[in-house]
Amino acid sequence: MAELTAPTWPQLRADLVQTFPQLYELEPNGPLVMDLGDDGWLLEIRPEGKVLCQYGVAMDEVMALMSDGTPEDLGTDEVAKQAKYFLQPTVSKYRALLLQSGFVEETEMTDEFVAITFARPVDLQNRPKVEDLVRWCRRQIGGAA
């Protein structure tokens, strides 16, 4: 299936950016990303055919909140646990809606950030369906039409 979707990604990406000028790339030919409102939620469209709604926090931010200005040696696991706790109130507002709409919840963690991600497969060859899903996410989470 990757062979079928790969050639359509550059064209779809160009079309989506034209339809949604808020979309931007983090890396050339990589996923398209859009801010969803002021809460810090992000929408991501990945070339392998996934749409993600995610909310995350930088590890540095969590460490700053936890250490209260004192440079403590905090373990990554402890910081990640606190980050997930920090993210829960905002994520819980949309969790049930996203899960009922076919999204699957995952936690993504790197040395830089922790994010709670809701992923849903989408057929990249069906542009109207991709656009509808982007609009739905913007309406539900971002409050935009």
Give residue-wise pLDDT tens across range 78-95: 777 788 888 888 899 999
Domain limits of the chain? 2-142
Rounded to whole angstroms, the Cα distance separating 56 from 82 reads 12
**4 pLDDT tier (thresholds 50, 70, 90):** very low
Q: What percent of the chain has pLDDT over 70?
A: 88
DSSP count for the chain of H helices, then E strands: 6, 6
Half-sphere exposure of 127 (CA within 13 A, CB side): 13
Q: What is the pLDDT of residue 143?
A: 77
Domain 2-142, CATH 3.40.1130 — does that match? no
Length of the chain measured in residues: 145
The token pair that represents 139 in the structure block: 């309406």
- Scanning 35-108, the segments in alpha helix (DSSP H) are 59-67, 76-92, 95-100
pLDDT at 114 > cutoff 90? no
* Contact in structure between 62 and 56 (CB atoms under 8 Å): no
Q: Which of residues 98 and 2 earns the better pLDDT score?
A: 98
pLDDT at 8 > cutoff 80? no
Q: What is the pLDDT of residues 27-84, one digit of tens each?
A: 888 899 999 987 889 999 999 999 999 999 888 887 777 766 554 666 777 777 788 8
Q: What is the pLDDT of residue 7?
A: 52
* Predicted TM-score of the model (pTM): 0.83
* Maximum pairwise Cα distance, the chain: 53
Rounded to whole angstroms, the Cα distance separating 105 from 52 reads 10
